[in-house]
Amino acid sequence: MPPAAVEIVAQDLQTMKRMLVRSGRTEEVETSAPARFIRVHLPSGRVVSIARSGTMQRVTRDMLTPPNARRESAVKEDYTPTARRRFGIPDARNTELTGAMWEQRTGEGSSSSQWLWSLDGGKCAAQGLRWVFAGDSLRPFELSGRFGRSSVGVSIPGDTQSVSIESDRTDPKRQRIQLFSRSKVGDTLLNFLRNGKLLEAETATDLAARVFTPPVIDPFAAAIAGYLLLRLHDAQRLEPHLNALVEDFPDLADGPVIHAGYLMLRSPQDTEGIASLLELAIERGMPVYTEGLRMLVDGLLTLGDRGFERVRELRGRLGHVLWESPVRTLLTQADSPTPLPRVIVTCGDPL
Amino acid sequence: MTLIYEAPAGDAKRERRLHAIVIGVADYPHLLHGTGPQAAYTFQLGQVEHPKPSAIAITKWLIEEYRNPEVELGSVELLLSPGETWQRADGTAVDVARATFDEIKSATAAWHARCHSNPGNTSFFYFCGHGMNYLTQLLLPQDFGTAEVAIPWDRCIDFTRFLTAMRGCAARTQLFFVDACRNQPEPLSALEPYGNPLVFANSNVPPPNRLVFYAAAPEQAVPLRKTGGTTALAEAFLKAMRGAAAQKPSKAWRVSLFSLSGPLVQLVSKIAARDDLEQTPDPRPEGKDVVLHELDTPLIFTQIDCETPLARREAAIELVPDMHSMWLKRVSAAGNSRPWLDDVELGDWEVLANFKSFAPYQEKVEIGTPFFEWMIER
């Protein structure tokens, strides 16, 4: 079950408390009066109200699942491991990190799909694909897909736990890519930010600040926390960690973008500082998260004519950006005006 | 005339006020099927229907329903194409100015000056009409494409630069609603378009608390509704402000900057889906949460449906209020279209349904924010 924002509602429907609750955890809340119900704000956008029962409220996945979804029989995918690769990226402290990823595939439908997918140069084909990761990488991975003469590039954060790809049975051009990261709160926050749910995202502010406590273990979760703090204009919490985010993670373009975002908040007249950080982000291969890509483009556009020229060049390189995707997803096609293949990317539990 | 509402003289400058500019452009004489000489480049854009009723609906809400004792309504600038006569509450009538570039520029300057006069002010900007995007978001006034100017971009608004400039406006709370397309029609990129930012920046102020809400995701068009009336965003905005976005952090129901954007996203998608359209809006809230509007009892966008086609056809549905409330029963007769859509007072209700072929249905429900959806299991 994904972390969710929980609202405790009084008898007169006043909101007594709002907080983020992580799956498997218990939160104690003192209220001045008995609650009427609790309202669970899921990262998917759904809101579920649950009547209060006693002083201990247990929320289960079943309570949050829509009734029609419960009645559908689950399609069980049987994944067969087909390959295993190791990866090791030295970090800023020159410590070799090792991890591994497993490629898995279902046995069904593989011959009918016209898609070809590969992760960081590995080769596989068809639908029913999944990669499972053990260990974290300090650099993102690149998931590449090809459909005819169209191609898709999806940035996969280094703290990803699994990536799965499914085809739409009725539309061969349509693919759904589901990412789960190790940071469940990060997945939840990405979705809250994407859906404009700042009221819910705000419940994670303290948690977001803690992600930066040295040593930063998960720079990708730190990047998401950085984007949240920027949205909340919480520059004070962000400031002590900006240099580390840029310097300690040279493979992460989001660090310089967040630092530039901080300057845009605090010192918008420092156009040289903003420009050089945004250029650094571009050199590092563009942000992993769409929120960062948006901030990069918006930041360049504040720099006058030179910024506009830079965005014009980038537009040519980027191709078509899937702005609804939480991670950077770029589509290019060789044949225009053939409709683009449809790729839907989601992060975290779809509940 | 563009200023159709102004608070009593003298007050607006001293107190915190909401100053609004609302623009609805449904008449483009120089685009396809227009009444004037056709522009050299129309970008396949023609006449549209929804912007004018949308702008009118938003304006009426501002004048008749907006309520914030801390930040009362200060002024409303309104521009419409085609024009309209506006009836004020005091009985006077105003000929509303057309939304040409010059009128928009002049009205925006006056609006900006009012917003800038007090950091406690709230600025409110709504545009509905044609839009396109190449590097920046362009909004098209009525006279875009006129042959009277050598370059069409001189009659074009650069909303992206306008937003950047508004960061320098002293008003600490800023709301922007862009009800326009964001795609890039051919041959826009080849023409290297630009627009006018309408205002200029003064950077020596802290960043504002703001919501910029686009009806469409970047690089996408707003799908055209098949029915007349307002756009999905305008309808969603009204539903949000009348209840869907309401929260009760204390004794009063309030809509705040943060509580507005999430429900607005969901409502736009749901309203578009009613017309079998897919619309993904783009919300950009930032800053600190501030109260925007207060209301008495939220009205909740309610959808009640049945599981089977036969039940849908036969269902005579009633929504009966809790015995302690003063609300009136709601009824939807058999044969009415399904799902049944209505705006219902928040609270405890009972759903009753009778059929020819199924057993009667009865269930107590709690109708709450942001919207209520119920499936009768028949």
CB contact, 8 Å: A269 with chain B? yes
Phi, psi of A322 (to 5 degrees): -90, 90
- Do A196 and B283 contact (CB within 8 A), yes or no? yes
CB contact, 8 Å: A205 with chain B? no
Whether residue A72 has pLDDT greater than 50: no
User: In whole angstroms, how far apart are CA B139 and each of A124, B25, B96, B109, B132?
Assistant: 45, 10, 20, 17, 7
- Averaged pLDDT for residues A138-155: 89
Helix-strand-coil percent breakdown of chain A, rounded to 5? Answer: 30, 30, 40
- Averaged pLDDT for residues B100-118: 95
Residues of chain B with Cβ-Cβ distance to A265 below 8 Å are 207
Question: Which residues, in sequence order, are CB contacts of B276 under 8 Å at separation 6+?
Answer: none
CB contact, 8 Å: A240 with chain B? no
Omega before residue A350 within 30° of 0, cis:
no
In chain B the domains, ranked by start, together with CATH numbers, are 3-295 (3.40.50.1460), 299-376 (2.60.40.10)
Question: Who among B217, B262, B288 is closest to A196 (CB)?
Answer: B262
ipTM score for this prediction = 0.91
Question: Cβ–Cβ of A67/B375 closer than 8 Å?
Answer: yes
Question: Who among A15, A196, A311 is closest to B247 (CB)?
Answer: A15
Whether residue A67 has pLDDT greater than 50: yes
The reported pLDDT for the residue numbered A336 is 58
- B242-298 pLDDT, tens digit per residue, is 999 999 988 899 999 999 999 999 999 999 988 889 999 999 999 999 999 999 989
Select from B207, B214, B257, B162 the least CA-distant residue to A230: B207
- A158-189 pLDDT, tens digit per residue, is 999 999 888 877 777 788 899 999 899 999 99
| Strands B291-295 and B299-306, sheet pairing | unpaired
A16, A47, A48, A199: best mutation site toward chain B, by most B Cβ within 10 Å?
A: A199
Per-domain residue ranges of chain A: 4-70, 77-351
Residues of chain B with Cβ-Cβ distance to A324 below 8 Å are 217, 280
Q: Tell me the β-bridge partners of A150.
A: A147, A333
- A315-343 pLDDT, tens digit per residue, is 888 888 999 899 999 998 766 556 667 88
Question: Cβ–Cβ of A315/B261 closer than 8 Å?
Answer: no
Å from A295 to nearest chain B CA? Answer: 11
The reported pLDDT for the residue numbered A328 is 96
Read off the pLDDT band of B192 (50, 70, 90).
confident
